[in-house]
Structure 1
């Protein structure tokens, strides 16, 4: 045996109940044979028979008590308790061994069984001491009973005791190592499963794990939000919860990837457009279903395209600027000369179009190199009337009627004042171009509403024109997209970029009598940083 093996609470220890039951069976068998000596398992006329009978009965009572204790306290016993039990067992076995005639008696196997049982209960130095105590005690008992100290039988029996103890100890140690390795592997699998689940939860796409019956075994929060699925840990049939996805899966073997509109109550339209992909896992009965918001994917793709287009346009604008300045300068020199009516008309066209081209160049350069926002606290109900008064000096806004609706108790908002002025200027110019109803005055409403839950103020700029065609709602913020021959198509994209610089965004909608642009500005807080 290895004396260096330390006892550890985490090692494999058979339940106390199993050891107690093993002990009880042996004690019951011994009691039975001592009560019926006529079976001739034990010598019927032995002077030690009465002592054997008493010891067997005591051992039976002891074993029954330990079995009862293991029922009351089912957990593994502490070290000191196991040492006490092993010591008492050793005394019982050695006494029975002595009374039955030692090595030559019918109970010579008891010390071997004792060592096997004790190896399961104590380890390390305690077990080593117990083995040597048993071997020495066997030699002494054999000498006392038979007067033989070093006979071959005693030596072989002692070696057998040591061999049994050694083999039993190695078997237990092997089982312990196997159990520890299994526990480590189980923990590694558990940790890996936890890691995989967390990765899936944080994945930027919705994920569903399905079996062959289209039962959802696992879904991450994004999939539950996109497809309006229950956050249920118990498997459920996808077809019953979201029939549109079930219909897609029935044809997934032939069309594993496609765009699909599903019904959902979380969208105002009652539908959500998803990009679905089905992935069959080889050699398993499972498949993965990935869900992505198709509108968001389109928006990201459009933003990437617009960013590349913006960089290209900025480079072109730089190249246009110098020849444009030369053209305008030449037109100014020609205007100083005496020209006929036709020549003056041509100069007016050159000047007008040069100015228009210059506005496009300036807008492109401003979008490509936006100035960093410097937020300040703004009281919209007091600030907006002043800005609207200044904007009426613009010839394009002379006929504009602006109605401002907002409570005086609105919180201060955080925004760059110069950028916010440009935002309202572009929105009102857009309303002047597109929001005038036929035969009626040009009217715009600005509605200010506090958003208590988000600590922000919602702003709606609403006109009463023809509205925005549905096919143009998604494209209206694209650079250079315009339906006016004289428009630049950069006013609304610039509005969006300026709002994003101030931690906000904008959305274009149609209302019953026209179009509206909706955005919200965060409340001002001391120490606000962008």
Structure 2
């Protein structure tokens, strides 16, 4: 019994799945009872349609995007939805038909024809109602695909139902067929086929056909030819059904095309937004310029490169008329006239004033017209500061040199260890002073080479860093005291080392030994270049914000020269003959590994001028667990 029940349940589930698949294949508009061809769009389409309008409003405020969204805005505001446009067109057709009926009756009376009073009265009533519904927006308020999708809706009776009733009365009052009023049924049948669901459109066609057949049968009872009248009525009724079906199918296709167009417009809007975001974030300047020097679009990087101090206003703007931009205008004109530009680009110098001269590298790409009367040619300019290009090239060379240096340092380690061991064995067997001086010299240079190798390997690519929560106050205090003892600095008020540390813990994200290495390098440099005296080297630690902690190492003395300052953090640059030139470079690399940075500041105070290196460290919440401060 349980097996039979399970089989029954399985068959029921299969049947439900089949019904669901059939309903999905039919689509939401298959059920004509509650769906209109212009009813609520499918899931996602309503959002797409709304997105077009909202995007149009948003892009109207952004001057840079006017060029990209001009056509989209024009289409989106071309008169509302398809239903509203068709509904107003049918209202205008009804008003024209009503006026034509009254005009025809009046013309017939002027020509001497006898016009029944009821015919003239019904035509006048219809004309008044149709013109009022067309001209008064208040009467159109609330008209929608849903309001016309029900036979009980007042909107349906105010337009389609009224037409059926009045045209039926006109046909019944003129049974002699002096005037072919039956053709008037085409308008309500066509209107129902376009604006209502298919089932209701067929019902409207059936009503018109039944009225035509009823009037024909009435005429037969009055003595008319039965074969002729019934044949005419039957053919006219079939025509009503054909018109209703064709109008419904055309309206369905129109609705699908409109939804597809709105979806495509939404995709185009999203793609344009994505492109604009990508271009805006580019460090390389991008300009879209036409032949007349009119800038259609410009990203922030390009507007910054074209400005002397403040950024140029958003596009559109004109390149001509600004003296500093004349070389750029000349380059664009030359590119358009020549029809091309070198692939590697060319350099252009913008002179803003006697002290400000900026060299720019220009690369250009062109859009070509496919037709003679097509859209105009546009030029896309990629602009970059030559100084940035040189800096990037220098960085690439430094990175390559760093990789080579790391490989060489790795290969030097083993021979260096062998030399150190052999020199130690020789030192044990040497008794005369001359040999001891030579072995001591070898040992000094071996240790120096070891330090250089260790420095190079410290910044070589390897295992990603693992930062841990560290109490910066405790670690800096301990490292400074150890450094003072190692360098045999006196304690007390005459000590050249001064500390300004907070009493509470400051938690940062760093590796303790690497932070100690950075601090020791800065302290060694500070003591080496400081003027002798108390507090000539000062270390300060403070909370800069909720996210950052500032560690400063100051040395009182002569300021660093500007030509030296430019190369402070470059590897292998040193002002000492026996220096490796890697100390500050290692400090910068270690700080950047853990999301921090190091900067140089010169203090020109008359009381205590000197040089200061400031390390900015990433701060952690106060409840972060701490790692041990010492190894």
Q: For the superposition of Structure 1 and Structure 2, which TM-score range results when normalised by the shorter chain?
A: 0.7 to 0.9
Distance 1:450 1:3 in 2: 68
Q: Does residue 412 of the first structure (1) align with residue 506 of the second (2)?
A: yes
Q: Which residue of 1 aligns with 2:311?
A: 229
Report how far residue 88 of structure 1 moved: 1.5
Q: Does residue 482 of the first structure (1) align with residue 568 of the second (2)?
A: no
Report how far residue 521 of structure 1 moved: 2.0
Question: Aligned runs of 1:81-230 on 2, under 5 Å?
Answer: 81-84=154-157, 85-101=159-175, 103-146=177-220, 147-151=224-228, 152-203=231-282, 205-223=284-302, 228-229=310-311
Distance 2:388 2:597 in 1: 15
* 1:358 paired residue among 442, 445, 450: 450
Q: Does residue 431 of the first structure (1) align with residue 460 of the second (2)?
A: no
Q: Secondary structure at the match of 1:520?
A: strand
- 1:53-90 Cα distance to aligned partner (Å, 9 max, x none): 22122222322442355455356442134431211110
Q: Which residue of 1 aligns with 2:90?
A: 19
Shift in alpha-carbon separation, 1:456–1:416, aligned structure 2, 3 A = same
Q: Does residue 30 of the first structure (1) align with residue 30 of the second (2)?
A: no
Q: Secondary structure at the match of 2:380?
A: strand
Aligned length: 514
Report how far residue 257 of structure 1 moved: 4.1
Q: Which residue of 1 aligns with 2:70?
A: none
Q: TM-score, normalised by structure 1?
A: 0.80
Question: Aligned runs of 1:367-382 on 2, under 5 Å?
Answer: 367-368=459-460, 372-379=466-473
Distance 2:273 2:206 in 1: 49
Q: Which residue of 1 aligns with 2:598?
A: 506
- 1:416-459 Cα distance to aligned partner (Å, 9 max, x none): 443333222211222344x256x999933445454237543252
* 1:248 paired residue among 304, 309, 328: 328
Q: Which residue of 2 aligns with 1:281?
A: 367
* 2:422 paired residue among 304, 327, 330: 330
* 2:616 paired residue among 510, 520, 524: 520
Shift in alpha-carbon separation, 1:213–1:407, aligned structure 2, 3 A = farther
Distance 2:414 2:195 in 1: 95
Distance 2:527 2:357 in 1: 34
Distance 1:349 1:331 in 2: 10
Report how far residue 159 of structure 1 moved: 4.7
Whether the 8 Å contact between 2:557 and 2:610 is mirrored in structure 1 is yes
Which ranges of structure 1 fall in alignment gaps of 5 or more residues? none
Distance 2:482 2:498 in 1: 15
Shift in alpha-carbon separation, 1:481–1:528, aligned structure 2, 3 A = farther
Report how far residue 103 of structure 1 moved: 4.1
Shift in alpha-carbon separation, 1:315–1:442, aligned structure 2, 3 A = farther
Of stretches 394-403 and 508-517 in structure 1, the one that deviates more from structure 2 is 394-403
Distance 1:294 1:450 in 2: 38
Whether the 8 Å contact between 1:273 and 1:294 is mirrored in structure 2 is yes
Q: Which residue of 2 aligns with 1:317?
A: 409
- 1:458-483 Cα distance to aligned partner (Å, 9 max, x none): 5243442351442x434332332223
Which ranges of structure 2 fall in alignment gaps of 5 or more residues? 1-28, 40-80, 336-340, 370-375
Q: Which residue of 1 aligns with 2:589?
A: 497
Q: Which residue of 1 aligns with 2:558?
A: 465
Distance 2:390 2:187 in 1: 77
Distance 2:359 2:544 in 1: 28
Of stretches 193-202 and 394-403 in structure 1, the one that deviates more from structure 2 is 394-403
Whether the 8 Å contact between 1:140 and 1:149 is mirrored in structure 2 is no
Q: Which residue of 2 aligns with 1:456?
A: 549
Report how far residue 274 of structure 1 moved: 6.4
Distance 1:219 1:75 in 2: 45
Q: TM-score, normalised by structure 2?
A: 0.69
Q: Does residue 50 of the first structure (1) align with residue 131 of the second (2)?
A: no
Report how far residue 18 of structure 1 moved: 3.3
Whether the 8 Å contact between 1:131 and 1:165 is mirrored in structure 2 is yes
Whether the 8 Å contact between 1:259 and 1:294 is mirrored in structure 2 is no
Shift in alpha-carbon separation, 1:276–1:404, aligned structure 2, 3 A = farther
Distance 2:215 2:177 in 1: 9
- 1:257-308 Cα distance to aligned partner (Å, 9 max, x none): 44868879xxxx9898865544333445333333456666655555544444
Whether the 8 Å contact between 1:457 and 1:523 is mirrored in structure 2 is no
